[in-house]
Amino acid sequence: MAYSTADFYAHPTAVLDAGSRVGAGSRIWHFCHLAAGAVLGENCSLGQNVFVADGVTLGRNVKVQNNVSLYEGVVCEDDVFIGPSVVFTNVRNPRAAVPRRGPAHYQPTYLERGVSIGANATIVCGVRLGRYAFVGAGSVVTKDVPAFALVYGNPARQHGWLSAHGEKLHFDQNDLARCPATGEEYRLSADKRLVTTMNEAIIYASANS
């Protein structure tokens, strides 16, 4: 990772505060602002008007669409997709007359590898989205989301499972499902609440190639 415009592209209207770090191959479009402690991994993309606060870290290959503010407390692992105008929060009980600034007051939002968030969704702070979880457009997420779960609505509720490729998973009587696009196999836990892949290493390898 290097702070060098030879390694990445930033549009001239973007403001990259001294101390921010941008991984090689990343692209930063019009009117973005990276605060001093922001860190972007390699091959990230920030659409128009994206703000990345102090202390926010994006992994590799994170795609952020237009008009998103990533406030302090947000952590993104690799391959996360954040749709246009997604809203993050970091204080659960804000009051204009009660100062609640600083990390001691901020609640985290953790986006594990491969998470996708649809346009205009709101993520209430203090939640963790498991790997490859998918949030439908316009949803309000108020609770943790399990890996590979598809959630939508306000409040967001689970409506099935999606593969790492973004395809619906239909489990058979043995609690096994195959991604129709990649053939990758998935297993549903006995309590029907968790999905694991039969070979995550392969999925992760293809997602990063």
Ligand X SMILES: CC(C)(COP(=O)(O)OP(=O)(O)OC[C@H]1O[C@@H](n2cnc3c(N)ncnc32)[C@H](O)[C@@H]1OP(=O)(O)O)[C@@H](O)C(=O)NCCC(=O)NCCS
| Residues of this chain that bind ligand X (CB under 6 A) | 83, 118-119, 136-139, 150, 152-153, 159
Contacting residues for 17 by C-beta, under 8 A, at least 6 apart = 33, 34, 35, 36, 38
CB of 198 to ligand X, least distance (A): 23
Alpha-carbon dihedral angle through residues 57, 114, 105, 153, given to the nearest 10 degrees:
150
> Which residue, 41 or 118, is less far from ligand X as judged by CB?
118
> Which residue, 20 or 45, is less far from ligand X as judged by CB?
45
**Alpha-carbon distance 172 to 137, whole Å?**
28
CB of 151 to ligand X, least distance (A): 8
> Which residue, 91 or 140, is less far from ligand X as judged by CB?
140
Q: Which of 35-66 are b and which e, b meaning 16 or more Cβ less than 10 Å from the residue's Cβ? A: bebbbbbbbbbbbbbbbbbbbbbbbbbbbbbb
**Alpha-carbon distance 152 to 140, whole Å?**
8
Which three-class secondary structure state does DSSP give residue 55?
coil
> Which residue, 91 or 119, is less far from ligand X as judged by CB?
119
CB of 1 to ligand X, least distance (A): 27
**Alpha-carbon distance 99 to 154, whole Å?**
29
Beta-strand pair 157-161/109-111: unpaired
> Which residue, 72 or 79, is less far from ligand X as judged by CB?
79
**Alpha-carbon distance 116 to 150, whole Å?**
10
Q: Where are the alpha helices (DSSP H) in the chain?
A: 200-208
CB of 47 to ligand X, least distance (A): 10
> Which residue, 37 or 84, is less far from ligand X as judged by CB?
84
CB of 83 to ligand X, least distance (A): 3
CB of 119 to ligand X, least distance (A): 4
